[in-house]
């Protein structure tokens, strides 16, 4: 079976989390017709283990849920109730691994089975991490549009729940970072989550002590682990998605020292015509310019917060002709100037050390 290309239109998103959201809100008394309005989904589909759909029906479902409850933090609050076992076989496989790192490797390999819209990566030595810290980086494979806070927030809290279940501990994450803007009414939410979240960052990350990686897991079970691992590999073979044009372009841009590479060069490297690649990116709801700006913003945040390079030098490294052009773009991305952003990061770091 040839690998499938993953796009927002691909009927590939399972009902693990959407079904949980729907059931929970129905139990709280919210009417099914209001939750399902304009989704094109039938109630029975949300409990069907074999049913998968594209992004837009689920986007509408989650927007309906937020509208019905009037709660902008609904994703995070529901994710706190989401049991790790609802993730299914990948969760059991991770919990039965020998060490915490082995379990995280399972998460990286097979999280896509039930959450194919996300790319998960385990990293150490990243910019912005303190000595003795490791991180799980979480990226969406396409734009979540107006439910980005709902989707990313839900995923971060749900993954932290799985980490705690693997360790059989009350705490796992030290803190987290989200690339979205700080939501209104955030005060008080951190106490419910159990760790601080910093917003408007370059990446979505869950940070935890690196020392946890070598811990033996209390649920380690080599027999069941091997059995579950075989099932994961079989399901992964059935669901194999090839790298999407979005992830391919992002990989090239992230590996390019100077962000001045034109679309034509990227298209040629990937075997597309320029027009063909542009069309593929449009199908995924994005463009080369948007991806280039995304990588520039990520790199700018890293350089401004993790180095003392002059702003003029950073502008050149990002492919801008002048510091003023860089400042205008950075203000458009973040609402802040490069100097203002750096000053705010340094002030926050100084405050945290007191």
Clarify whether residues 89 and 113 are in a common domain: yes
Clarify whether residues 73 and 100 are in a common domain: yes
Map residue 219 onto helix, strand or coil.
Answer: coil
Last residue of a domain, one of 239, 258, 278: 239
**131-138 mean pLDDT:** 94
Number of separate helices (H) and strands (E) present in the chain: 16, 7
Distance CA 191, CA 127 (A): 27
b (16+ CB within 10 A) / e for 253-281: beeeeebebebeebbeebebeeeebeebb
Clarify whether residues 137 and 179 are in a common domain: yes
Clarify whether residues 158 and 205 are in a common domain: yes
103 compared with 271, residue with greater pLDDT: 103
The pLDDT assigned to 258 comes to 78
Any idea what DSSP says for residue 13? B
Residue 187 sits in a domain whose CATH number is 3.90.1520.10
- The whole domain housing 271 covers 245-353
The pLDDT assigned to 138 comes to 94
Within 13 A of 340's CA, how many CA atoms are on the CB side?
8
Q: Is the pLDDT of residue 75 over 60?
A: yes
Average pLDDT, the chain: 89
Q: Is the pLDDT of residue 1 over 60?
A: no
Within 13 A of 260's CA, how many CA atoms are on the CB side?
7
Q: Is the pLDDT of residue 280 over 90?
A: no
Any idea what DSSP says for residue 231? H
Q: Give the residues across from 123 on adjacent strands.
A: 135
List, for residues 93-128, the tens digit of each pLDDT value: 999 999 999 999 999 999 988 898 898 999 988 777
Alpha helices in 87-144 (DSSP H): 89-95, 100-110
pTM assigned to the model = 0.74
Clarify whether residues 227 and 265 are in a common domain: no
The pLDDT assigned to 349 comes to 65
Q: Give the residues across from 4 on adjacent strands.
A: 241
């Amino acid at each position: 079976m040839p690998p499938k290309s993953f796009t927002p239109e691909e009927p590939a998103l399972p009902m693990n989390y959407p079904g949980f959201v729907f059931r929970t809100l129905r139990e709280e008394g919210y009417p099914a017709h209001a939750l399902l309005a304009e989704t094109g989904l039938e109630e029975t589909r949300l409990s069907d283990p074999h049913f998968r759909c594209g992004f837009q029906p689920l986007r509408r479902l989650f927007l309906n849920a937020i509208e019905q409850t009037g709660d902008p933090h609904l994703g995070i609050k529901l994710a706190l109730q989401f049991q790790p076992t609802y993730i299914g076989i990948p969760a059991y496989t991770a919990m039965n691994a020998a060490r915490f790192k082995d379990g995280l490797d399972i998460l990286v390999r097979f999280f896509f089975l039930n959450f194919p819209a996300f790319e998960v990566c385990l990293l150490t030595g990243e910019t912005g991490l303190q000595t003795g810290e490791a991180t799980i980086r979480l990226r969406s494979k396409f734009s979540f549009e107006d439910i980005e806070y709902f989707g990313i927030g839900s995923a971060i809290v749900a993954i932290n729940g799985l980490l705690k279940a693997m360790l059989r501990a009350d705490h796992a994450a030290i803190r987290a970072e989200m690339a979205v803007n700080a939501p209104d009414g955030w005060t008080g939410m951190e106490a419910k989550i159990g760790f601080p979240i910093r917003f408007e960052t370059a990446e979505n990350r869950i940070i935890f002590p690196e020392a946890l990686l070598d811990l033996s897991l209390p649920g380690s079970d080599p027999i069941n682990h091997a059995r579950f691992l075989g099932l994961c590999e079989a399901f992964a073979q059935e669901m194999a998605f090839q790298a999407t044009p979005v992830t391919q372009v992002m990989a090239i841009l992230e590996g390019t020292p100077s962000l001045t590479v034109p679309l034509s060069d990227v298209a040629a490297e990937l075997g597309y015509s320029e027009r063909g690649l542009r069309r593929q990116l449009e199908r995924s709801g994005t463009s080369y310019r948007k991806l280039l700006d995304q990588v520039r913003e990520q790199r700018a945040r890293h350089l401004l917060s993790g180095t003392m390079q002059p702003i003029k030098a950073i502008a050149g490294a990002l492919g801008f002709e002048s510091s003023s052009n860089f400042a205008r773009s950075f203000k458009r991305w973040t609402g802040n100037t490069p100097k203002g952003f750096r000053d705010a990061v340094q002030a926050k770091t100084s405050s945290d050390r007191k």
